[in-house]
Structure 1
Amino acid sequence: MTQIIDRPPLRGDGTPEPDGPILTELPSVTTLTMAQAINRALHDAMAGDDRVLVFGEDVAALGGVFRITEGLAQTFGEQRCFDTPLAESAIIGISVGLALRGFIPVPEIQFDGFAYPAFDQMVSHLAKYRMRTRGQVDMPVTVRIPSFGGIGAVEHHSESTETYWVHTAGLKVVVPSTPSDAYWLLRHAIAARDPVIYLEPKRRYWGREAVNLTAPGPPIGKATVRRTGDDVTVITYGGLVGTALNAAEIADRSLEVVDLRSLSPLDFDTVAASVRKTGRAVVMHEGARTLGFGAELAARISEELFYDLESPVLRATGFDTPYPPARLEKVWLPGVDRLLDCVETAMRRP
């Protein structure tokens, strides 16, 4: 029997709460939203290892702004799921110290734009401990960050921070696009010996999917081809996977959609196999165009697959401006039209 915890509707910081209840007892295969899948992954990790700790701003009493951590403090107690001060640098610093003492911290940074105060701790300490100790000290910290845009949030609540973390050697970086990936990538991240930055696409919190809770999904470092095609490879991740699939449905061309899932380590073999087949590639991400993740991927494709390409690698991205007010968000974010324009440009070039 599935047990359900009901909750009233609530909005925090101008953002809608994930619809539907958080489920506390589930069959092995069940339909979950991404929010519920993340909650379940945290629950199962905490149930399986009493060293796993969940903490952050408002994660215990409130269950987080998006209610992702709802019920964990009641189930596991305030010693294992607890609220912290509004101090992101301290949250990551505490995580490093706990990991050194043998715990498995899973801190939450409440929103992507709030990660910047923690940047020094994450780059200077979290990312470097394994190397500093020649691999003798594990740093099993999974930093959850609700990320990216698409929900009409206020300033500092919709940012694309992935390039900072991917550029920081020593950090693994993952971005789920489906509830199933959200569950299994988080389970794999918590089990990892290295620190993992787990970026949650907020716009996908309410997407539903059947999730198998007993059959492990692909590991960190493995991409997935979400749709096969012959003309152009579209490479993306997170919330834009759905956008790419929608574009593929209406495009006059045959698009192959590659969901990276893991940005570091990157599964370049899957990317290369697709680009060799189609001869054309478009990289899509929400962040600014200059020095975004698409720039690195385009450079690597051009370096390693130059003779397989029929046209230059193109990018469908956000603009080189600060993230705009909510009323301009749809104009700023790359969508179906921007992607299809790149596809047609790639097809016209010899």
Structure 2
Amino acid sequence: MKNLWQRVSRKLALPLLAFALALLVSGLLVAFSDSEVLALKSSPLQMLVKAFATAGGAFAALWQGSVFDPNLTRNGYWNGFYPLSETIVAASPLILTGLSVALAFRAGLFNIGAQGQFIAGAIGASFVGFYFDLPVVIHALAAILAAVIAAGIYGGFVGLLKARTGAHEVIVTIMLNYVAGYFLLWLLSTETFLRPGRQDPLAPEVALTARLPKLFGADLRANLGFIIALAVAALVWWLLQRSTWGFRFRAVGANAVAAKTAGISVGRTTTTVMFIAGALAGLGGAVQILGSEPALTAGVGGTFGFDAITVALLGRATPIGTVFAALLFGALRAGGLEMQASTETPLDLVLVIQALVVLFIAAPALVKAIFRLKNLDQGATISSKGWNG
């Protein structure tokens, strides 16, 4: 038990220290970008006190906007957790898209196409959701299945191209992101997908029978998609650590030549990994459409697919790490608006925090040097040969 705790502590040390450094640097940026703080430069002590108060106020607003807001408890204590509900809503698709990127990383592949796969899944879920009239539960399952298959094929096509022609998955997936985005724009102009009476690109809402049930009542948007995301994360962990296919994925990711020599079909493994990665991102699109955004729009993908790369990196390409990284990013996304509204802190600062976390995660030697740590476990890293860890 002691050895397990030590291993877990070493694994968590780098992300936690990186996050602490990101908060520290971000706090300095918040404090010294405030005109009231700079106006006290003639009195260093007062300036320092004001700087701490400004940074503390910004981070308190971030917490209040992402976890618990006491101002909302007037109509019931549980209403104070509305921000936490919004964090869960933002994190659910991020968990699934992050798992998509992380799984590909573990197999030595760079899935930069989670954005396009997310859109493909959202299209499939939306079409089944509003076009067909099915019973409750069956309708939601059919929409999710359509999303998984559509996005899986979209991702598997990349793996097939790489296996058969040697096409680099980074280039192909980046191009397919554009294909998915522009295809969605065209689709929303067609008679089938354009909502009657509307000229702007907006699809009909999915039927109530296809929507995911809410977890904490009608007033909070958190829905079953979060439970689905956690269950899928556990399934991906089992796939990687306990299944034969997972062993093949990791073997190809560690050394494709050695894996081929051992009798593993690298081409089949590559195609399978990209199919599953696409399906995971597509499931994220389904959760978004069936859970919190019931109408397909041109901006349905947001930045989920691109944020997934950062989430997978912060989570060190592990399912558990990806879940916590997605929750962190969901909190930053949900709390950033409150921080901006109550303290007039620019919303762009949230992006700065995210970028700083990634910067420190990607530079473990810098973190070790700052904290003078010799035995810090650096864990998984990305190299030119894929994901090592």
TM-score, normalising length: structure 1:
0.25
Q: Answer 1 or 2: which has greater strand percent.
A: 1
Structure exhibiting the larger radius of gyration computed from Cα positions: 2
TM-score, length-scaled by structure 2: 0.23
Q: Relative contact order (C-alpha < 8 Å, sep 6+): which is higher?
A: 2
Higher helix share: 2
